Amino acid sequence: MSKIFRISHLLVTTLLSLSFPHPVGATPGTILQINPPVSTPSTTELTVIVNGILNKTGDICLRVYNSEVGFLTNGSSEVKSGCTKITGSSVKTVFSGLKPGTYAVAVMDDQNGDRKLNKDFFGIPTEGFGISRDPIVSMRTGMPKFRRASFKMTQNTTIDITMKYSLDP
């Protein structure tokens, strides 16, 4: 009786393996995911296009931040930065190697080469500036918080920033 059982077990196992062939490249006995989860890239690329540049000389300096801490003040949350010569009314800069996350970008039209946004006695910028998501910057609102300027990045992203040469009304 046990001999018949072993033969029938072998026959059933053989028939089942013939009925459900293994996918090409699959090892028998492994679990195959039909719809594997979509993974986010380990690093992303941020392209920033700055428009509305009024000056013909100087540099456009950009800073990429990843948190509220130091945003637009001491730069402690700055993760990338760079300056590029003004060549027209717009410039394009690419930042590579950013991990997926939340970021904000600040831009300034550096006319005197000191790599900081100069302000007058009242704290009003005397050089052009721009901030991602174009938040209102006025005497009433002051400089925006990180959350008003930030955006999520899960893949390569392009943003446009328009320069301001005065406060918003």
> What are the pLDDT digits (tens) for 56-87?
999 999 999 999 999 998 888 999 999 999 99
d(CA 41, CA 118): 38
Per-residue confidence (pLDDT) for residue 151, from 0 to 100: 98
Is there a domain that residue 25 lies in?
no
What total number of domains does the chain contain?
A: 1
Answer yes or no: is 82 within a domain.
Answer: yes
Alpha-carbon gap, residue 66 to 159, rounded angstroms? 16
DSSP code of residue 164 = B
pLDDT at 3: 54
In a domain, 167, yes or no: no
Looking at residue 2, its pLDDT comes to 54
| Token representation of residue 84 | 């590029």
pLDDT at 150 over 60: yes
Note down the domain range covering 52. Answer: 44-162
Q: What is the pTM assigned to this prediction?
A: 0.75
Q: Is residue 22 part of a domain?
A: no
Read off the pLDDT of residues 9-59 as tens digits, 9 standing for 90 and up: 444 444 434 344 444 444 455 454 555 556 667 999 999 999 999 999 999
Name the residue among 120, 52, 116, 61 with its Cα closest to residue 85. Answer: 61
pLDDT for 99 equals 97
**pLDDT band at residue 154 using 50, 70 and 90 as cut-offs:** very high
Assign residue 83 the CATH number of its domain: 2.60.40
pLDDT for the residue 37: 59
pLDDT digit string, tens, across residues 104-137:
999 999 999 999 999 999 989 999 999 999 999 9
**Spacing of C-alpha 136 from chain mean position:** 22
Is residue 7 included in any domain, yes or no?
Answer: no
Q: Is residue 112 part of a domain?
A: yes
pLDDT of residue 74: 85
